[in-house]
Amino acid sequence: MNKIVSTLGVMATVAYSTTVYADEIMSATDNWNQIEQRAKGQTVYFHAWGGSQEINRYIQWAGKQLKSEYGVTLKHVKVTDIAETTTRLIAEKAAGKDSEGSVDIVWINGENFRSLKNNHLLFGPFTQSLPNWQYVDKSLPIDVDFSEPTEGLEAPWGVGQLVFIHDQKTLHNPPQSFSEMLSYAQAFPNRLSYPRPPEFHGTSFIKSLLIELTNNSPALSKPVSNDDFQTITAPLWAYLDKFHKVAWRGGKQFPAGTSESIQLLDDGQIDLAITFNPNAVFSAQASGKLAKSTKAYALESGALSNIHFLAIPWNAHSSAGALVTINFLLSPQAQSRKGDLNIWGDPSVLSSQYLTGSAKHTQQFKSVDEPHPSWQTALENEWLKRYGN
């Protein structure tokens, strides 16, 4: 591994047992200054979802700032599903590539974090040693990710909530529950859909649906078992069998993701788009992708919610540059721009007193907790078996 600062005795390990303690990485401002010096000239490969122009432009802006202020070159490696990166890192581990890795930062949450953590593929803990950690809102659920303890191995980056977007001119009273959504689809065939799992938004849709159909069964907060899965998910498949018959294109085709969902709404082909950003409607309106009459809303029961995170692989080539990048992305400057309703509108993980502009007032809805991460893989596999072809 590329050691961050050799004089600090940084123990960025190949596999952590309780890994590298933050005070061993950096314990004072002087140490951080050395890390910034080490980061100069490094190229940081940032694996992040590339399905949103607004997000891609924001990362481009961050790259320019990092180059100007710290001499760090940020390369956005656009992925359609971060599981691709997880698979790559597992392959590097199997091949014994414990240094000079191809990934320096990964944008993750939930199942992928659990997989990386369990396979000892993460550097850290590092979060509390970041200078900008002081600005993070500690009242947010930043210590767990889909019920998995984060243990300082990933830094919170933003708040996600599953919401729907409708055009108030054509759909004044949108469905307030999944039950109403099915009734609407049956009354108005070919007007509703959701992205195809295992795409993140599609999987989130079926998780939210399962939560409603089971009245948020306590079993969903525990690791999935075969017996529980068959019993608990039976109403889900019964619902989807009915829904697909009257869905957009007869449930034989699904939007690729939130961007296509929003495009279909704007084109008048469907009546509800889906997003995991409660403020995405504002940036889409600002860029001309949606009419000003569109509005985001959550179902009556609330919005499936989680924090999304940034992590550093155990074998990152540019670990110093990765630390400097994540620290910058947690700065009031970067978080205020990310939360700007006309740019990304992603709700910030910083306390609002440190934010400026519209980022101080991003909207959030009542939260619904994520199921245990093991449910995600089980649901995706079963969905693909039943509807993948």
Instruction: Give the tens place of pLDDT for each residue, 25-62.
Output: 444 445 999 999 999 999 999 999 998 899 999 999 99
Confidence of residue 275 (pLDDT cuts 50, 70, 90): very high
Residue 148 has a pLDDT of 87
* 14 contacts: CB under 8 Å, gap ≥ 6: 1, 98, 120, 314, 315
Q: Which letter, b or e, does each residue of 347-359 get, where b requires 16 or more Cβ atoms within 10 Å of its Cβ? A: bbbbeeebbeebb
pLDDT tops 60 at residue 84: yes
Average pLDDT on 167-186 reads 97
Distance separating alpha carbons of residues 23 and 351, to the nearest angstrom: 24
Distance separating alpha carbons of residues 299 and 78, to the nearest angstrom: 31
Give the closest residue to 318 by CA, choosing from 120, 64, 16, 39: 39
Average pLDDT value for the chain: 91
Are 70 and 40 within 8 A, CB to CB? yes
Average pLDDT on 254-260 reads 94
Q: Give the pairing type, strands 154-161 and 148-149.
A: unpaired
Residues 357-374: tens digit of each pLDDT: 999 988 889 999 899 989
Residue 21 has a pLDDT of 37
What are the φ and ψ backbone dihedral angles of 303, each rounded to 5 degrees?
A: -120, 130
Q: Chain centroid to CA 55: how far?
A: 12
Average pLDDT on 269-297 reads 94
* 249 contacts: CB under 8 Å, gap ≥ 6: 190, 193
Give the closest residue to 368 by CA, choosing from 311, 315, 302: 302
Is residue 151 left, alpha or beta, with left meaning phi > 0 and alpha meaning psi from -120 to 50? Answer: left
Residue 40 has a pLDDT of 98
Sign of CA dihedral 76, 80, 82, 87: negative
Residue 254 has a pLDDT of 97
Confidence of residue 23 (pLDDT cuts 50, 70, 90): very low
What does the block give as tokens for 35?
A: 């890390």
Tell me the CA distances in angstroms from 374 to 207, 226, 382, one per residue in order.
12, 11, 13
pLDDT tops 80 at residue 24: no
Neighbours of 381 (CB within 10 A): 13
Residue 30 has a pLDDT of 54
What does the block give as tokens for 141?
A: 């659920």
Residue spans in the chain of domains classed CATH 3.40.190.10? 6-158+307-361, 161-305+368-387
Average pLDDT on 76-88 reads 93
Fold of 6-158+307-361: D-Maltodextrin-Binding Protein; domain 2 (3.40.190)
Average pLDDT on 3-32 reads 42
CA atoms in the 13 A half-sphere facing the CB of 203: 20
Neighbours of 256 (CB within 10 A): 16
CATH class for the domain made up of 161-305+368-387 = alpha beta
Q: For 38-47, 221-230, 347-356, which range has the lowest pLDDT when averaged over its residues?
A: 221-230
Distance separating alpha carbons of residues 139 and 186, to the nearest angstrom: 42
